[in-house]
Each structure stands twice: as structure tokens, then as C-alpha cells.
A and B are shown apart, each in its own frame.
Chain A
């Protein structure tokens, strides 16, 4: 019987010719990623278990991006970055991207792509639930906690149960008023926040392959919002072009077999979909933008691993060009590379950055920022009874900083349109 792409990658990593869902296996990890929130406790566990003089299993396979709490006066947060810095020094780590240096990147999941760590066919484990993002490059990637990560630091191994796969096929051309965020919010509304628990979410279909890598990452990023173990899109020419431009590391392309077995399949015709939001307080609380149109807002937010990539800002700029925002609108480029691209990329001869600035957006430095609330002095943090529309990925109670706030998740087009009107607005008003 055939295997899915996820099963093939796991089999290779476990050194087996085949694996089947439900089987518990030990994987050899190709890349371990951590950051300033989960790195320090991971390092502490590793030192306790393996000794302070030990060396980690493979210095080239550990990648550390401080990104969560960076631009803050919070002394505990700053101490955590110092812990990473000292560890990188002790272990002579080549892949540490320190704050305050030219190497500083920002949001880890986007930085992994930019720095060429997302290698098709490999296994990437991260101490962050959105590590599933990397699956957009046809690799197996998932999030774990500190203990599992510390175990990998010492052994290079992790146990996993092979997941069943679910397939999500998007047919038809993606209309101008939809983005990948609309597609994944559509799925979440259909299968709910535990609809893919312990399963692989495989994305396929002509609309998926028409997306650039930024947009593909938006799909796989939110696999975890359905409880998914990993999200995955098989590599194609676009993937290879992106990867080859950034690294000469080796990779291998896998595809699902025609007779691979799936837990379930979902088919969507893009022409039948419309802009959607996730209403408070859950990413699966889907509604159409039309349904919540007119909801008064106090803040708009465009940023994060899922909503702060170049494509998210070029989409926003299409609407914000020659407009003014009516409510405070925060723009947080995921990484320093995205921030630089905002100055280079243009629309109608004007840089994206200038368009956003002229519209009145507040542009912050690259980091996770208010997506997860963060320390009290975090830019864009929700306060009191804020009503926010955001391109981020979670709107559980208090996620952006205030338990009394209400957060709507939406595409960058919908957020931009809403910023201009000050109330939730359908982007088709601006695009059609």
C-alpha cells in the first residue's frame, strides 16, 4: 500500500522502509529550533540531565532565534536572551541569531525559511507550536515542549506516533479578495480546534500550488489551530527555487502515493469561498466578513509568523494605498528581512513601507510582539476592552494581552479594509 508524504519522511527519519499510522517510532532530528521563551528552560533541563560540561548532539543542527520578548524593558525577558547568548558562546553555536547584531532576524518560523533551514524531506522540531509552519516546504515539522527538546539536545532523537493524514484540496483560481488566511480559517470553521488532533494536515490542489511560499506558510502555520501534528505541502518548483536561492544544504523531495490512505479528504472550490474571520474567542469560530461587518474596532494588527510576511504587507498595501487608517494600526514585519523588503518592494512606484506609513500605520521592529500579548510594554498589546482585528493566528481569551479584549482573526486584506473604515469591512469594497 502507498504512503503519504508525511509517512515517507517519518519512515526515512526512523530508518525504516515503511511506517503506518499509530506506530510509535524514534525519529532522527535534522533541525532543532528554539527561541527566548522555551530555550532557557530547555537548556536548564539539558544541563541538569547531561551535565554542565556536556556538548550538544550536533552544533550544526541547532538553530536559535530570539524573537518573542525582544524590545522590552522587562528584566526577566532580557535575562532569557542573555541565557541564550551565553549558551551559544559556551557551545560555539554557528546558528545563533543574536539580538542587537546584524544577524538578528525576528520571528523564528519565517526566519527558518529565509535562512534556508526548511529543507524538503527533513524532520524539523521546534519548541513552539507554530513549528508546523515549515511544512510548507515539504518537510515534517512539529512543535514540542522543553523536556522533549532537551532530550533532542542530548540524543538527536524524539519519539512520535505516526499520524493519520487528512487531505485538504483547494480547486479553482484564488480570487483577488481571498488570501491563504481565508482558506485556513475556512478549514478551521469546518473541522474545529481539535478536528486534526494528532493528525497530519496535507494541503493540495491547484489553488494551493498557485500560492507563493509566504502564503503556503500561512496555511501550514495554522495546522496547530486544528490540533494538527504537522501541516505539509509537497515541494514543487517554487519551493526548490526558494530553497536553492538560500542554501546549498541537501534535501530530498517526497510526494504522496496515489494509493496512500487518508483519514479524510476535504474539497473546496475557491470560487465559492468568501472573506471570513474567526470571531472571539477561538480560531474555529468562523463567520463571514459580511456577517460581522460594521463591528466597531479600537485596534488593527498586521504581524506575526502567520500574518507578518512580505505577502501580507503587499496585500495590505493594495488597500491602504492613498487611504488613511481610522484606528491605531500596528504593522510588525516578522523579520528584519521582511522589514528590508518593505522598503524595496513597490506598488505603483511607491515602496510598501511608504504606503503603510502614509496611511498612518505604526511600524514596529521585527519580533513576535503583541501576537501573544507579551510583557506590558509590548507594542500593540491589547488593553482593557480593546476590539482588535488581527492577521495573527490565535484569539483565545487574553491571547493578545487583555482578558476583556475581543480579537477577530482575518486576512491582511480584511484587516487593511477594516483599518480604513474603523469597523470590520469586506475587502471587496476596495477591490471590486
Chain B
């Protein structure tokens, strides 16, 4: 897997729940048929109220117009990211939109598990509050070996909490890949 993740920051507030990540009315598309599956990317984060979309300014849509992918590849969140429902469609939708990693202060358990076990994206925890210093549009680089986030636009560095127990699953690319590698299935 990539050891350096590069991307443009999309900054959000606290308690971004799964209905904001992918509103329930969209949970009906097939994930196997690509022409439908890409709609999950199209509607990713469409439930975030406009004024809180892309902080600090707000009113910065995650997806432009009718696009299926976002220009933003790394999400900076606050506390309890992904709270709410168990829908795996949430990290899946972010993945379809092109998100590679999220850095948040904390996560809801099911969202975190789904991100890791589905192999959709890397959920890093920050050591400090970041959604008030990083701005939407900043160019970021995550160094997975050093557990560091570098903000290339502002020339700052932030330490990230090591991924711990889930690192082997992330490295394998998901739960099934991990289980095969370790001979479980």
C-alpha cells in the first residue's frame, strides 16, 4: 500500500454523522453496477448543511455540480466522526468520491470498523484539534511510516496517533484480504 497519501484538505466540523455523509434516500443504488455505484460518490457529503461544508469559509461543495468524484482527497474532521447509522455506504461513498484518508479527533466505532474492514480509506486520529487550523483547499501529505501529517500550504507538521491493531488489516486492504493472508479463510 501507499506509504505517502497526498491530497487536498476538505475540512468539516464535529459530529459528522452518516446521514450527512450519505443521506438515507441514496442508500438504494447497487454497489456492483459501476454506473449506479458512482452515484455514491456524487452524493457523498451532500447532507452537510451548506454553511458547514468546507470550513472555515463554508459553502464550498465537496462535489462540483454533477461530478462523481471530488477534488478533495483528505478529510479533516472533529470529534465523533461517522456517528449515527451502521451504513457501510458512508465510507464507501467517500471512497467512491476519491477520499483516501480521514483525520479526525475521534470516530464512532461502526464507521471506523467499516472504513478499515471494507478497505475504503485510512481513518487516522489526530493528537490535537486540527479542523480550526487546517483550511479547506490546503495541500496535505500523510506519511504513514512516521505517522505524520504535513500541511504543505502552511508548512506545518502534526503528529498522528499510530493505527495500532488495525494496521495489518489496513495494509492488507480489508478484512477479507487480511483473513486470507493470515490463513483464516
Contact A38 B108 (CB under 8 A): no
Q: Please tell me if the beta carbons of A197 and B106 are within 8 angstroms of each other in the complex.
A: yes
Complex CA gap A126/B108 in Å reads 16
Q: Which of B94-149 contact A (CB under 8 A)?
A: 106-110, 113-114, 117-118
CB-based contact A396/B17 at 8 Å: yes
Min CB gap A382→B, angstroms: 12
Distance between Cα atoms of A8 and B39 in the complex (Å):
44
Among B4-12, B68-76, B152-160, B174-182, the one that faces the other chain is B174-182
Given A74-B28, A194-B83, A394 and B19 contact (CB-CB distance below 8 Å): yes
Separation in Å of the A229 CB from the closest CB of chain B? Answer: 6
Nearest residue, chain A, Cβ from B26: A76
Q: Does B89 contact A (CB under 8 A)?
A: yes
In the complex, the answer to whether A227 meets B85 with C-beta atoms within 8 Å is no
Q: Within 8 Å of chain B (Cβ to Cβ): is A398?
A: yes
**Contact status B89-A41, CB under 8 Å:** yes
| A193-B15, A193-B80, A193-B83 known; A151-B47 Cβ under 8 A | no
Which residues of chain A in 147-162 are interfacial with respect to chain B, using CB atoms and an 8 Å cutoff? 147-148, 150-151, 154-155, 161
Q: How many residues of B contact A (CB 8 A)?
A: 42
| Contact (Cβ within 8 A) A128 B47 | no
B-side contacts of A14, CB under 8 Å = none
Any A CB within 8 A of the CB of B1: no
Judged by DSSP, the binding face of B is loop
Contact with B along A116-159 (1 / 0, CB 8 A): 00000000001111010000000000011111101100110000
| Closest residue of A by beta carbon distance from B32 | A44
Assuming the contacts A144-B113, A227-B108, A227-B109, asked whether A44 and B175 have C-beta atoms less than 8 A apart, the reply is no
Across-interface contacts of B42 in A (CB, < 8 A): none
Contact of B47 among A44, A49, A69, A397 (CB under 8 A): A397
Q: Is the beta-carbon distance between B49 and A397 smaller than 8 angstroms?
A: yes
A interface residues (Cβ-Cβ under 8 A, vs B) = 24, 37-38, 40-41, 44, 49, 68-69, 74, 76-77, 79-80, 126-129, 131, 143-148, 150-151, 154-155, 161, 193-194, 197-198, 227, 229, 282, 372-376, 394, 396-399, 401, 403
Contact: A398 with B118, CB < 8 Å?
no
Q: How far is the CB of B62 from chain A (nearest CB, A)?
A: 14
Given the known interface contacts A147-B176, A197-B109, A396-B84, the answer about A76 and B20 at a Cβ–Cβ threshold of 8 Å is no
Shortest CB distance A191–B (Å) = 12
Can you name 9 A-B residue pairings with CB atoms under 8 Å? Answer: A144-B86, A145-B88, A147-B118, A161-B165, A193-B15, A227-B108, A396-B19, A398-B47, A401-B25
- B31 interface contact, C-beta 8 A: yes
| B79 adjacent to chain A (CB < 8 Å) | yes
Q: Which chain B positions have C-beta within 8 A of A227? A: 80, 83, 108-109
CB distance from A88 to the nearest CB of B (A): 19
Distance of B31 from chain A, by nearest CB (Å): 5
Q: Is the CB of B47 within 8 A of A403?
A: yes
Verify if B24 is at the interface (C-beta below 8 Å from A).
Answer: yes
Task: Check B79 against A194 for contact (C-beta < 8 Å).
Answer: yes
- The answer to the question of B23 belonging to the interface, with a C-beta cut-off of 8 Å to chain A, is yes
Point out the residue from B29, B85, B184 that lies within 8 Å of A76, measured CB to CB: B29
Q: Which residues of B contact A374 (CB under 8 A)?
A: 24-25
Question: Which chain B residue has the least Cβ–Cβ distance from A282?
Answer: B15
In whole angstroms, how far apart are the Cα atoms of A373 and B89 in the complex? 16
Complex CA distance for A375 and B85, rounded to whole angstroms: 17
Extra inter-chain contacts (9) besides given A147-B174, A148-B114, CB under 8 Å = A38-B88, A41-B31, A77-B28, A80-B28, A143-B86, A143-B110, A150-B176, A197-B107, A399-B19
Q: Are A145 and B108 in contact (CB under 8 A)?
A: no
Q: A145 near B113 (CB under 8 angstroms)?
A: yes
- With a CB–CB cut-off of 8 A, which chain B residues contact A49? 176, 185
Complex contacts, A193 vs chain B, CB 8 Å: 15, 80, 83
Q: Is B150 an interface residue (CB 8 A)?
A: no
Mark interface residues in B50-89 (1 if CB within 8 Å of A CB, else 0): 0000000000000000000000000000011001111111
Docked complex Cα distance between A229 and B113 (Å): 12
- Docked-complex contact B28 and A194, CB < 8 angstroms: no
Residues of A with C-beta under 8 A to B48: 397
Chain B residues whose C-beta falls within 8 Å of the C-beta of A373 in the assembled complex: 19, 23-25
Return A207 CB to nearest CB of chain B, in Å.
Answer: 28
Given known A-B contacts A144-B110, A144-B113, A399-B19, A376 and B83 have beta carbons under 8 A apart: no
The 8 Å CB contact of A194, one of B24, B27, B106, is B106
Contact of B117 among A38, A148, A282 (CB under 8 A): A148
